[in-house]
Amino acid sequence: MSDYDSIIIGAGHNGLVCAAYLARAGQRVLVLEAAAEPGGLAATREFHPGFRVSVAHTLHHFSRKIVQELGLTKHGYQPGELMNTTGLSADGQHVSIKGNLVKGVSSADAEAFSEYQAMLQKFAAALEPFWMKTMPRIGKNSLKEMLTFAQVGLKLRLLGADDMREFFRVASLPIRDLMDENYDSDILKAVLSWDAVIGSTQAPRSPNNTVLSMLYRMTGESGGAHAIPAGGMAGLVNALAAAAESQGVELRYGSPVKSIAVEGDENGQRATGVVLGDGERLTAERVISATDPKRTFFDLLGARHLEIEFTNRIRRLRTDGQVAKLHLALSGLPNFSGVDQPDGRLIIAPQMDSLEFAWDDAKFGRLPEQPALEVLIPSLREPGLAPTGQHVLSAHVMYVPRSLEGGWTETAKAELQGKVMQTLAQYAPGIEDLVLHAELLTPQDLEEQWKVTGGHWHHTELAMDQMLMMRPTYEAAQHSTPIPGLFICGAGCHPGGGVMGGPGHNAAGEILR
Amino acid sequence: MTAEEQSLRHATAPDPYADERLTLSPFHARQAALNIREAWSEWNGYRFADYYYDVEYEYFCIRNTVGTYDISPMQKYHVEGPDAEAMLDRMVTRDVTKLKEGRVTYVCWCTDTGRMIDDGTIFRLGPEKFMLTCGSPSLAWLKKARFGFDNLTITDMTDNIAGLSVQGPCSCATLKAMGLDGIDQLKPFNIAYFDFAGSQLMVSRTGFTGDLGYELWVEPQLALQMWDALYAAGENYGIQPYGEAATNMARLEAGFIMPDMEFHEALKTVHLNHDQSPFELNLGWLVDFKKPHFNGRRALLEERERGPAYTLTKLDIEGNKVAEGSWIYADEGCSKHVGYVTSAMWSPAVKANIALAMIKTEHLKGELWAEIYYDKELRQYEKIARCTVADKPFWAPDRARATPPADA
Ligand SMILES: Cc1cc2nc3c(=O)[nH]c(=O)nc-3n(C[C@H](O)[C@H](O)[C@H](O)COP(=O)(O)OP(=O)(O)OC[C@H]3O[C@@H](n4cnc5c(N)ncnc54)[C@H](O)[C@@H]3O)c2cc1C
């Protein structure tokens, strides 16, 4: 008999969600995590004595269904208060968004904003059935699978003809066009574009699916607003780990899996367990990888066990991340000019073109001349993240190429850090004097330390060609893989990345079917 | 410019079509001299003889004496390194791990969905060195197939190896006369090496005619010298080059498949199911399910359970009207269409009207009728002829397998 019913590789939030559901259904589940703590990209760790931070720093669409079904509240999860988003302007004329209201723009823009938000929220709600369900297979559909489509079709139909037509029009629109149609304020446009493009290899003018990505981020009750849960991101991660353990899941940290064990005979191949870094072998009825597709299929399994065309499809997945992360340990609270309390999301992209130009640099492998930033001071929301009176600053930096021309040398990193600090100092004069320690994580650092190919936000690009029943590719889009006994449940699966839980939830559903 | 200067200039100007002209085989100088009909076509960018003198004559050389066929345009790849065996074993349907050094095996390879990309042969030249040969360029597929096998190199050797097939009942005697001592001991699908002109000549007992025959592999610089030695040795046997047309006759009698006739390469097929699987091509014996993994295994397993939609079938057709392009019916009234002929000929060797046909598998056991159209002096005629399924190759003489061959 196998040691476990299921072995899950990776205790990112998706691995934990999947583990908890499987154990809840009676399975003996082991989760093996390379890092010393759970959470993956959402893990909270000390980056300077007394200062803690997580790479993913806000929640905006973590599934309520999962919270309820896994009883996360009982395990300490408390969604945080929704945050404002402020678009910083060099002259202090900031644009501030709270729910469906916006301040700092013309009354025409303000009015348009409420209507626009309501419309997008309607669309996001119509798409809701898509995210928490396994996608149908192309060609071979069961009735149940067809129902997923039928449900979305029905929801879209219920929007009414006009809204439905509008939905189809905007879903594949470059976000830039949607912004230009609706607003005058350049800062507002840039701020609203942020959630459409962050984490992708797309900028406001890129055609593809930026609007759809935004709608994905807007699902759930927060309507797209971000929050930090009580206890910081660790509040969620710890609740997930506790929920999993309370169902009997065994969690092992500091246990990197070296390879997925495959046995083969005249009946074909089968994944039978894993081999750990120290050579230990563990067996299971199935192995579920919560790591990214390339790592799963190439590094852990080995392409030789796969078929050639499937291999080629995984190989060409676009996995280069474009977001770097800056963490600052600060001796005090920085003063952002014109901002009373910097306890929301501060976006530094003073023009629509700031994003586009930063992308133009990055897409040719260069550092952005003017990086665009999403800045957060999580310690204002969760004081435990820094010593009393001191603070943590966490910033997403766009666009930063995974493959920098000349490579990520120390000089290149220092240059990027200099640019980011310079940008910050424009809006928060004197911030450099508060810095006790700075940590810059390039996509390459994220790849190496967080074990995510390309350091990609979504494990693999979330774009039309890699979405829905094409995510990560057909023959693996329903969580099973060409290798019997091997499943995948990370952000590289439908619906995608972000701390959302859909992939882990859907994978468990598929395995328990 | 004077007219003379102009014409001189024209003559010395660089050829604007240089890159597009057909490559000349290392044997071209000799073959061109013997191609008295100037019957040239093309194969893989090489100028290639359709025939040299007369198709039937060349065919009879293969069956009765000895003929040579230029296989230099065949694609040849060296796959070398610690991962070479595993890489090829995953790519093809046969078990390459069982292939011993000094042996050759016939293989095919498929897409993930079990549709045939190409067939060819694998030579095991050393513990970690293989040569793969096939009819059309496969480098793009090999590059995809090698991903995940880091310790190997793939080298396209097509232009670096001259290949000449020597086929027919007198082939062994000819090679012996050429000085290849011990050639008569070479078993089918084995490889031997001989010293030649200070270098090495590789000989495999392989071919595409179903007859006694060998294939000679040598560096291109020695091609003409080898040709001369071979032709001097074969003179008394009436050695004669043969082209594509005679090959096509011989291979059909042997029951071998030809690309673009029996199968359409899967990677070049646009329409759904217009390609074929090994089972459809009656090559199920090449598919080794004892191997835990190879490309297309899952799909082929399903197909084996389900049974192939079509089966390539050898037909012996009554009468002497060649069933070229005929449709096959389950009844004499031609009301139930069940297949189509892929290749057909009157076989001089077996004195029979033979064909290969793709027939819907479920109809194999029943009656089969070919609807044959033929013409006589521009007048069109039709004939419905009864077909009998043949289980064995039409032409498979003992000498093809005997070691040493009888007349050596
Ligand atoms: C810079 C950046 C900022 C982001 N910010 C946000 C944000 O603010 N809000 C948001 O919602 N999303 C954000 N995201 C996206 C989000 O963090 C990810 O999409 C999400 O965390 C992915 O979760 P996961 O569980 O699928 O995978 P991961 O969190 O990547 O977890 C995979 C786990 O597998 C482990 N692992 C890998 N290989 C092995 C092995 N061989 N053996 C054992 N364990 C292994 C890893 O250590 C890791 O713990 C951000 C992403 C990036 C890159």
Residues B242 and B386 in one domain: no
Band (B181; pLDDT cuts 50, 70, 90): very high
Domain boundaries, given as residue ranges, for chain A: 4-42+61-79+230-318+457-512, 110-217
Mutating which of A259, A308, A315 best tests the B interface, going by the most B Cβ atoms within 10 A? A308
d(CA A182, CA A503): 34
Residues B248 and B200 in one domain: yes
Q: Do A307 and B295 touch (CB under 8 A)?
A: yes
Residues B67 and B180 in one domain: yes
- What integer pLDDT is reported at residue A159 of this predicted model? 84
Strand partners, B337: B329
Cα–Cα dist A452/A257, whole Å: 14
Looking at the fold, whether B208 and B325 belong to one and the same domain comes out as: no
Whether residue B338 is predicted with pLDDT greater than 60 in this model: the reply is: yes
Q: What is the pLDDT of residue B1?
A: 57
Mean pLDDT by 10 residues, chain A (513 residues): 96 98 98 98 98 97 96 96 95 93 96 92 87 83 74 81 89 92 96 95 89 88 90 97 98 98 96 97 98 98 98 98 98 96 95 94 96 97 96 98 97 98 97 98 98 98 92 96 98 97 97 95
Task: Decide if B118 is inside a domain.
Answer: yes
Residue % of chain B over a pLDDT of 90: 94
In a domain, B289, yes or no: no
B30 belongs to a structural domain: yes
Whether residue B66 sits in one domain with residue B190 = yes
Taking the C-alpha atoms of residue B264 and residue B273, their distance in angstroms, rounded to an integer, is 10
Confirm whether B303 is domain-assigned.
no
The reply to whether B68 and B80 lie within a common domain is: no
Give percent of chain B above pLDDT 70.
97
Helix axes A161-171, A143-158, angle to 10 degrees: 110
Hey, is A284 helix, strand or coil?
A: strand
What is the per-residue pLDDT across B105-114, written as a single tens digit (0 to 9) for each? Answer: 999 999 999 9
Tell me whether residue B395 is in a domain. no
Distance, CA of B9 to CA of B3 (rounded, Å): 10
Q: Is residue B60 part of a domain?
A: yes
What is the reported pLDDT for B46? 97
Report the complex ipTM: 0.94
**A117: closest CA among A96, A130, A101?**
A101
Segments forming the whole domain that contains residue B112: 76-138
Is residue B106, in this structure, part of any structural domain at all?
A: yes
pLDDT at A141: 67
Give the confidence band of B2 by pLDDT, cuts at 50, 70, 90.
low
The answer to whether residues B131 and B246 belong to one domain is no
Confidence of residue B13 (pLDDT cuts 50, 70, 90): confident
| B44 and B176 share one domain | yes
C-alpha dihedral (A134, A306, A473, A465), degrees to nearest 10: 180
Stretch B17-31: mean pLDDT: 95
Task: Give me ligand 1 centre to Cα A371, in Å.
Answer: 23
What residues of B are in contact with residue A268 (Cβ under 8 Å)? Answer: 292-293, 297-298, 301
Q: Residue B166: is its pLDDT beyond 90?
A: yes
- What CATH class does A4-42+61-79+230-318+457-512 carry? alpha beta
Q: What distances in angstroms separate CA B153 from CA B79, B111, B270, one per listed residue?
A: 6, 22, 31
Q: What does A176-201 look like in DSSP terms, one character per residue?
A: HHHHHHH---HHHHHHHHHHHHTTSS
DSSP 3-state of B325 = coil
What is the band of B11 on the pLDDT scale with cuts at 50, 70, 90? low
The pLDDT of residue A126 is 87
Residue B8 pLDDT greater than 70, yes or no? no
Q: What's the pTM?
A: 0.96
Distance from CA of B286 to the nearest CA of A (A): 15
* pLDDT of B407 above 70: no
The CATH number of the domain holding residue B371 is 2.40.30.110
Q: What pLDDT is stored for residue A235 in this prediction?
A: 97
What mean pLDDT do residues B375-393 have?
96
Ligand 1 neighbour A472 (Cβ under 6 A) = no
Long-range (24+ apart) CB contacts under 8 A made by A106-113 are A106/A184, A106/A185, A108/A184, A109/A182, A109/A183, A109/A184, A109/A185, A109/A188, A112/A182, A112/A183, A113/A182, A113/A183, A113/A188
CB interface of B with A, residues 10-29, below 8 Å = none
Distance A199 CA to ligand 1 centre (A): 12
Residues B107 and B186 grouped into a single domain: no
| CATH number of the domain bearing residue B235 | 3.30.1360.120
User: What per-residue confidence (pLDDT) applies to B157?
Assistant: 98
- For chain B, the maximum distance between any two Cα atoms, rounded to a whole number of angstroms, is 79
Whether residue B120 is predicted with pLDDT greater than 80 in this model: the reply is yes
Same domain, B187 and B38: yes
Q: Stretch B40-55: mean pLDDT, rounded?
A: 97
How many domains are there within chain B?
3
Residues B212, B107 within the same domain = no
CB pairs under 8 A between A and B: 51
pLDDT category at B36 given cuts 50, 70, 90 is very high
Place of tokens 């003017």: A370
Kindly state whether residue B239 falls inside one of the protein's structural domains.
yes
Query: Are B211 and B64 in a shared domain?
Result: yes
